[in-house]
Amino acid sequence: MSTAGFNSQNGAGTGQPYSNGPSQNPVGLQQLPGAGYGSGHQSPFNLMQAKAPSPSVPGHYSPGPFQPLPPGSPYHLSPSPTAYPAPQGQPLLTAPLIGRPPSQTPPHSASSSPGLRLIPAQPTPPPPPAVSSSSYHQNPLQTAAPAWHYNTSQPTMRSPAPMILPPHGPVANNVNPAASLAGQSLPPPPLSSAAYNTSPPSPHLSQTQSQPQGLGMPPTSLHGYGQPGSAPPPMNPMAPHTYQPIRPAYGPPPTGPPPPMRPTPPPTGPPAASGTPPPTKADGAVAGNGPQATNSYNHVDSKMAGLAQPGPPGRHLGHYPSLPPGYQNTSGPPAPSPMHPAMQAATQPYTQAPQAYQQMSGGPGMAQLSPSLASMSLQSGTPEALRVVNLLQERNLLPPTPISAPTPCLTQDLQRINCSPEVYRCTLTSIPQTQSLLNKAKLPLGLLLHPFKDLSQLPVVTSSTIVRCRSCRTYINPFVSFLDQRRWKCNLCYRVNDVPEEFMYNPVSRSYGEPHKRPEVQNATIEFIAPSEYMLRPPQPAVYLFVLDVSHNAVEKGYLNVFCQSLLDNINALPGDSRTKVGFITFDSTVHFYNLQEGLSQPQMLIVSDIEDIFLPTPDSLLVNLNECKELVQDLLKSLPSLFQKTMETQSALGAALQAAFKLLSPTGGRMSVFQTQLPNLGVGALQSREDPNQRASAKEIQHLSPATDFYKKLALDCSGQQVAVDLFLLSSQYCDLASLGCISRYSAGNVYYYPSYHHQHSPAQVECFQKDLKRYLTRKIGFEAVMRIRCTKGLSIHTFHGNFFVRSTDLLSLPNVNPDAGFAVQMSIDENLVDTQVVSFQAALLYTSSKGERRIRVHTLCLPVVNSLTDIFAGADVQAISGLLACMAVDRSVTASLGDARDAMINAAIDSLASYRQFALTIQQPGLLAPACLRLFPLYILALLKQKAFRLGTSTRLDDRVFAMCQLKYQPLAYAMPMIHPSLYRLDDLTDEGALNVNERTIPQPRVLQLSVEKLSRDGAFLMDAGTVMYLWIGRNCNPIFLTQVLGVPSYADVLDNLYVLPEIDSAESQRTRALIGWLRDQRPFYPSLHVIKDESQLKASLLQHMIEDRTDSALSYYEFLLHLQQKITK
Amino acid sequence: MAFTFAAFCYMLALLLTAALIFFAIWHIIAFDELKTDYKNPIDQCNTLNPLVLPEYLIHFFFCVMFFCAAEWLTLFLNLPLLAYHVWRYMSRPVMSCPGLYDPTTIMNADILAYCQKEGWCKLAFYLLSFFYYLYGYVFLTLVKRILHCSVKNNYFNNFFKAIGSHCKRVKEPH
């Protein structure tokens, strides 16, 4: 039954024929419309958004819950403008709280008393209570329906201008009533799916939809997150093709041959030529393509590198030269480079590339190739993910577009409603049946979650009873089975439960007796407004306490001005309601409190110098209601920077200040933001410098990665118990012992921000970065007193959690605050064999109090197939998720054991899994380093991790930088962590609009992703490296003068300033394209990557080169050497 | 003479081992509760941590006693555990209070499993050593006494009839 239900549901989906076969490449499909890069993180979600009318503002994420903007979304570039609703919403945010209040209050009350809730919700009018928001807006009438209100976020999407929403922004999940109204215009029906799919028809959609039928490509892409692949073939079902995302823009989708497996041709110029050829069986017959391919490559070359060399020696073509290519650190492309210029060309879609090379290479390569060809042809039936790749021979493995998550091989019905990979990713999209099978595969099993991500559409349900399994307490979800009308079987523990009477009524269709069509059963991501049973105490108000370092060092840094200004600007955008409270504490060698009690004419400063036994001078008036005392707060913020201008106090009693702050917050809970600029050296929690600068470049062991004292950890645990989260902003150029200080945030579910060289005058780039980060920080959505429980199907269990939180029991995380930028990782183990089950499910339920004082539960459910063969496991491996999880595990290992151990463990992970693949999954043995296509980037990512700041050895790395990099790896959601692990390199001087995305009416060019090797840099070009938290724009010495004048605004190379960090706004096509690309990349993340323009002789060039992962450095292997090392270990 | 220092050691060890057995059982129960979600790890660590040092000290204490009593075999049997305790305490996480268990890491499946296993192993060891000490005590206080006592000691004649003849034989040389 249930399945039937599903089908019917999806609005978009309905009616569309899903063809099984071809659909395999979902990603490709989605992209067809033109979303080029976005595909990486494709999510249907985005698509939807895209459709919405576009909000104009590109930039920031709106903190607001509903507002999509989630970082993730940006990735997805939805073609249509609307995609990002409120991005730059910041301005919006600033909108006074006042606007919000009306909506807020109601919800609040509603939540507190269930009874009330129901009723009020009904009111259709826009202004309505937040609760109402929950009602589905689509059909106003429906809303009237009794208890249930669903809010599909659709409205939001549609809402023309996100701008309007602003007030909501901060509000956590509430749907914007206004938005909802707008949304109503939508077709009422398909709620569930609607959430995701229903976006208003965009050209996009129409395109895609139409296509499918003809082409045999299922429209599925439209829907949900992934496409369900074809029906799961027993063997390797779906090889998710993720890797070869087609670049939509280039090939008009329709024309492209439907062959699922085929990646479409590479985007760039040559596309037509090169693209078409490969089509044939990927695997085998490359036949006639050879020449064409070559041509195309050359073409590319000439275009890109400007090299004239036409005919490179054949032998270089297909495979690596026997010696590793020269690793020139020099700038331009080495002329003598052994590689064919073609290789230098931007990456080609990998499938093609190799083949083409193989063909061409007449000589030496042939013999070796033949076996692989043979095997390929034999396996021609196998999915793309399993195509055997000889890593030693295929150089250009990197797909030209971002990599997307593989699609689990589930039936389309299940896949369509499955949870978005942006929220939930599993390292193995096919779960092994037994632990022994998992051990054999040598791949880690785990989940990467981004549970509180800003979602563009989130159905919200208000109902008096939340249906849950009676034994395991699982929330009802799309993957349960209905035995009949009145009973459902839990998909986690298999208990049969009754369907409560209320659940029989479907508010969406206003029909009775169709429990399987309710939104809870139609959406893998859903939010409930929790009744009072889910509260241990009345929902807390939003409480923000700022703890500021005002010692001499801090004043010197000059961060106070920026902080106070940002807070003044955003004070109305702080998420909260009429109960919001704020407070301030400053400290140097003493602790200063500020009495902001209403009625005072100006803030009163109270100094406590007894730091050994800190106490609160006036407990009542230090935390004040923001709305009532706003003027005093503003006064204080204006006077604070000047207050300490002359201070000569150099000591820092951070420990005492934290204790005081904890005392202040403990009755309510809330968020504590700590700004620290030096090593705390006074009173409790004092630390000593442990770093020996001479050891920074040590190739041996790195000491002091673990905390020096447990003071901060204990305090964090106390905070966690009182629902207080501590966010740490560390602005210090000196050693601050982040390893110890970081504990305060780590165990209280806070964040750590680190600005190592911050100075208000000397490092404008960091100041900008700090400003932007602060703005996002202050205005983003926030959830208080949260807990997250992760449940999984019986037989699986949770082994370890990674992230910032406190683990309160085996599956429960205590998160005093939860924010939309927090990611979590979970290692799983298989306790019992999953022999009788076809699919397993994972459910993450996040219970939190929104800033409006509503108790809400956000539930994500992911369903994955169970397989019993190693081949299938390999076919379902998600290389990015695996790398992300391994990084988390390696961080733990470096702290508990040693960095060397952690590095060895990562290398062993690569060796073991590839060896296991060779031994068990490969039918034909052949020489070389073989990997399935889905894991072909695995060694590259491992190498990238080894060269990452967190794990590198032998390169001078400050201890705090290293520890911070480790924190980031554990804490950042995968989508943000990937660029930090493996940066992307683009060529900027020849940007074209070809294949560009359209976001918010801005055209965003989509250059190819180049390999990270100096040989890709050419002296006559300009290249952008996006390394996650920082971007480098490298200008070649002979850079195209047009680029210099039109983008950088300087007449010649010599005039480029050395520390340029902002691109001038020049009204030229080149400048606009460049800025659009950089702006778009920035918009994809919640933090603000600063841009550094680098010339050949710049000091920063070294840091750029450190990111050139494929090159050799003094202390680390080149990619090719690394592969040889792996091969040696594997064959041994 | 009859009640030697060694016998005293055994008797004391017997009593203390009984206490250690309770510690071990407590430990096992506590981790089981953690695993089944009944307890908050912070509370649990707060109750477990104060017990760690006493346990180690008790064990160390009667090892020293056996050393003084020159009970080499017994000492030898206890040395591995003593070494383990020293190692375990040396490698504890950074903590300001005595104890071993850190509430932030204790929920890790590996650590939890390790602690549980450790609890069972210790329980087994303490139980075995309990009986061993009992045997040692009885051997020293009773058997040896009989061996050394004169035959006149009727009190035990009946009791040790089985070995009576042997006793006599042994006694005769004197």
Q: How far apart are CA B75 and CA B61, in angstroms?
A: 11
Q: How far apart are CA A523 and CA A516, in angstroms?
A: 11
Q: How far apart are CA B156 and CA A670, in angstroms?
A: 76
Task: Report pLDDT for A930.
Answer: 86
Task: Report pLDDT for A173.
Answer: 37
**A717–B110 CB contact, under 8 Å:** no
Task: Report pLDDT for A541.
Answer: 92
Chain B within 8 Å of A471 (Cβ-Cβ)?
Answer: no
DSSP string, B30-90: HHHHHHTT-S-HHHHHHHHHHHHHHHHHHHHHHHHHHHHTT-HHHHHHHHHHHHHHHHHHH
When CB atoms are compared, the residue of B42, B94, B109 closest to A717 is B42
Chain B within 8 Å of A810 (Cβ-Cβ)?
Answer: yes
Q: What is the rounded average pLDDT of the residues B126-138?
A: 92
Task: Report pLDDT for A511.
Answer: 80
Confidence of residue B80 (pLDDT cuts 50, 70, 90): very high
pTM: 0.72
Q: What rounded mean pLDDT belongs to chain B?
A: 84
Task: Report pLDDT for A1019.
Answer: 86
Task: Report pLDDT for B161.
Answer: 60
The alpha carbon of residue A827 is apart from the nearest alpha carbon of chain B, in Å, by: 10
Task: Report pLDDT for B165.
Answer: 54
**Helices A654-665 and A711-721 meet at what angle, rounded to 10?**
10
Is A728:A751 a contact under the CB 8 Å cutoff? yes
- Residue of A536, A705, A800 to mutate, testing the B interface (most B Cβ within 10 Å of its Cβ): A800
Residue of B nearest to A718 (CA): B42
Chain A within 8 Å of B103 (Cβ-Cβ)?
Answer: yes
Q: Which residues of chain A have pLDDT under 50?
A: 1-381
Which residues on chain B are in Cβ contact (under 8 Å) with A829? 109
**B107–A807 CB contact, under 8 Å:** yes
The two structure tokens encoding residue A715: 């305090």
**A808–B34 CB contact, under 8 Å:** no
Q: How does pLDDT run across A1060-1086, given as a tens digit for each residue?
A: 888 888 888 888 888 889 999 998 888
Residue of B nearest to A896 (CA): B93
- The letter for the amino acid at B13 is A
Task: Report pLDDT for B169.
Answer: 56
Number of H helices, E strands in chain B: 6, 0
Which residues on chain A are in Cβ contact (under 8 Å) with B42? 717, 721
Q: How far apart are CA A26 and CA A246, in angstroms?
A: 10
Q: Kindly report the three-state secondary structure assignment for every residue of A611-668.
A: CCCCCCCCCCCCCEECCCCHHHHHHHHHHHHHHCCCCCCCCCCHHHHHHHHHHHHCCC
pLDDT tops 70 at residue B97: yes
Task: Report pLDDT for A355.
Answer: 36
Task: Report pLDDT for B107.
Answer: 87
Q: How many CB pairs under 8 A join A and B?
A: 52
Which residues on chain A are in Cβ contact (under 8 Å) with B109? 797-800, 810, 829
When CB atoms are compared, the residue of B35, B94, B110 closest to A707 is B94
Q: How far apart are CA B46 and CA B43, in angstroms?
A: 5
Q: How does pLDDT run across A294-336, given as a tens digit for each residue?
A: 333 333 333 333 333 333 333 333 344 333 333 333 333 333 3
DSSP string, A895-958: HHS-HHHHHHHHHHHHHHHHHHIIIII-SS--SS-EEEGGGTTHHHHHHHHHTSTTT--SS---
